[in-house]
Amino acid sequence: MSAPSLTYQLLTVAVVVLQRQMIHNNVGSRTQWNTTYDYIVVGAGTAGSLIAGRLTENASTTVLLIEAGGPASVITDMPIESWNIETGEFDWGYYTVPQANAGQF
Ligand SMILES: Cc1cc2nc3c(=O)[nH]c(=O)nc-3n(C[C@H](O)[C@H](O)[C@H](O)COP(=O)(O)OP(=O)(O)OC[C@H]3O[C@@H](n4cnc5c(N)ncnc54)[C@H](O)[C@@H]3O)c2cc1C
């Protein structure tokens, strides 16, 4: 069996990328909100998403997860693109002091 043509492969990648971007763009389309929540988690980053996910494992618990940033992008789905998102719209531009035991490669 021969490999799919380059055109077919590129079309497949384009469709997958488009699908993922549409999923990202759909975030925030919710229009109905509760007036109260059991928990409010601020920041839908690594820790906030994990905590909100764990809290909602109990179906009777209501959780509001607030995120200040915009929707993710197909760029943020690709680890190899991490160098390109450090100074763009996905970066708050905060700096830290030197850490003795962090950022060591
Ligand atoms: C380019 C890059 C590559 C990395 N690669 C790796 C890796 O390969 N492996 C690894 O383990 N770690 C990696 N890290 C580190 C990892 O991403 C962070 O350590 C981790 O995401 C920190 O999680 P956090 O929940 O503390 O903060 P974040 O994930 O930064 O989440 C904080 C969230 O809070 C939101 N927020 C901030 N202020 C407010 C506000 N006032 N109201 C609402 N929301 C707010 C922010 O928009 C953000 O979404 C990488 C980091 C960078 C920058």
pLDDT per residue over 37-61, tens digit each?
Answer: 999 999 999 999 999 999 999 999 9
**Which residue in 77, 76, 96 sits closest to 86, CA to CA?**
76
Ligand 1 atom nearest residue 66's Cα: 43
Query: HSE of 34 in the Cβ direction (CA atoms, 13 Å)?
Result: 10
The structure's pTM equals: 0.77
Range of the structural domain that residue 70 is part of: 35-91
Q: What pLDDT is stored for residue 60 in this prediction?
A: 96
Spatial distance between the Cα atoms of 41 and 67, rounded to a whole number of angstroms:
9
Structural domain count, the chain: 1
Verify whether ligand 1 is closer than 6 Å to residue 43 (CB atom). yes
In a domain, 16, yes or no: no
**Which residue in 11, 16, 56 sits closest to 38, CA to CA?**
56
Q: What pLDDT is stored for residue 29 in this prediction?
A: 63
In a domain, 59, yes or no: yes
In a domain, 58, yes or no: yes
Q: What is the mean pLDDT of residues 2-10?
A: 89
In a domain, 65, yes or no: yes
Verify whether ligand 1 is closer than 6 Å to residue 67 (CB atom). yes
Verify whether ligand 1 is closer than 6 Å to residue 48 (CB atom). yes
Q: What pLDDT is stored for residue 77 in this prediction?
A: 80
In a domain, 83, yes or no: yes
Q: What pLDDT is stored for residue 95 in this prediction?
A: 85
Which residue's C-alpha comes closest to atom 49 of ligand 1?
A: 45
In a domain, 97, yes or no: no
